[in-house]
Structure 1
């Protein structure tokens, strides 16, 4: 037996195909009794209407496209949790694509999503040029998560990276650290405000900043740590680009015979599930990822339904202290030797 059709559902429920179509579009014109009969028949037959087919037939899409910049980063998985829950509650479904943190691949991924003629698109941490985002926004409503652009046509949902990095520096300075390095997120989204927050906080504490080039991956964290240790004595603390970068930092420090936090304290960013694992116990800056996803979906759906002007939401981070930070020992370079 082939895949059940709308006609099969109509015959089983004893109604017209047109009425089944109204039920599948969640039309308020159908009585509760007939709606129940159609849904019961659909469940018995295992009928599931194709979202894209419904959209094309009705000229009203119930699909939201989602670009996930990095499938390996659990932060984005948590954003998707919030996005998906809010979208489904509003009757929308999600279609995903990724560009693996590569601008050219992300441009193709965005074009692919737009080819589905979605009601709107959510871009999570994209590294595509602003022009690509503007082109997408001219086609349908667009929301950015963990990325900022100067546009009045795009919804933005971010955490305050400047404040987040400052929280990390303030915590380490309160413990007595003066030699605090920052591993930069490179061209990754939100790297600039986190770097700026670190530099401003170091200046406020009268400390000399040391920004080490890196990326939002564990391999980059390990590589940058090895390069740093080859060039100078270890700092007493490192503010990593994110949690995954911090895991690489810790691995490379231990490889070099340095203990965390006895010799070097490490702070991550994002507060992913990885950071909370008992054997990791990473002190980190918490981004409310699930809330960010929910707010992104709500903003996008409001725009789809004619809800007016785009919104720019900036959520406040918080510090979660675990076991990778402690007062410094009398070792490592000092602020006066940093350059």
Structure 2
């Protein structure tokens, strides 16, 4: 039963769960004994935010939690920060188990808000918090990184459609000339000249040029597909310009930051930007175990009788960190002396394939954690041996 709104600030700890949608958000206020104090629904705009602030203003000992729901939580979160109220951002995977454990399988935002509040109590010693003074350190970088990722995805979609069109019009061409090769755009921009033998494709052999020319000569006729190819070429040209512009902005942001992650061999500007903007303040993580879990690099352990079997990583955390870690690990195996030795040792022990790459990624994540946590440059331990 809902209690009247009274000042519970005294010695009590108050917990607020917020479930946010596009147009509104549900909130639920409970005490440490999980007794309901108040719940309600407000509009997801500045008016709703100010009304929410009025509701919680009497509570001093308060913890607020909300799920990271696409972009819908961002405005409320920033509003709370600006008004000296900190909040905990939870990955939806963190609260999913509690929500799904209800005996009655009804699902409402009101119930979800209560589940979030209860989750903060149950997991209060293991939640990765967002400190109000440090969370916005990489806000701009994070937004530019998201833009960069979105443009990259659009480029992939445009390329995939281009491959479909090219296979319809010029069967066999994409098998000979990879769409990601540096001469592919040169081919489709000079098709008529190549057919008429008035243009030589750069960077390829004469035999391959002849093979491509024969494919173009024996092409199908479909004006609609040709039009779609032209549209996709224009789209790719625009997207590539936008990607380069965004990359330059990210480089400027990254270069202006004083972060020791730059000293780690194998981590470049883009991968470093993704990792930094995803992690935020390293002090949110009081152990490497939490950072692994946040990154989805923690192992999945299956128990059967007296045996514990570690099969694979959970992949439940931030996918962007895993993406950046993968790219960085591939580079670090070549250029980072610590990772290079680790890779060689594990490979000689019989580890191979994806399991070997994951092991190296976790080793690199350990290095990232140590460097950021201690705020010290990367050093190869062997260099300190006399």
TM-score, normalised relative to structure 2: 0.20
More helix by share: 2
Greater gyration radius: 2
TM-score, normalised relative to structure 1: 0.23
More contact order relative to length (CA 8 Å, sep ≥ 6) = 1
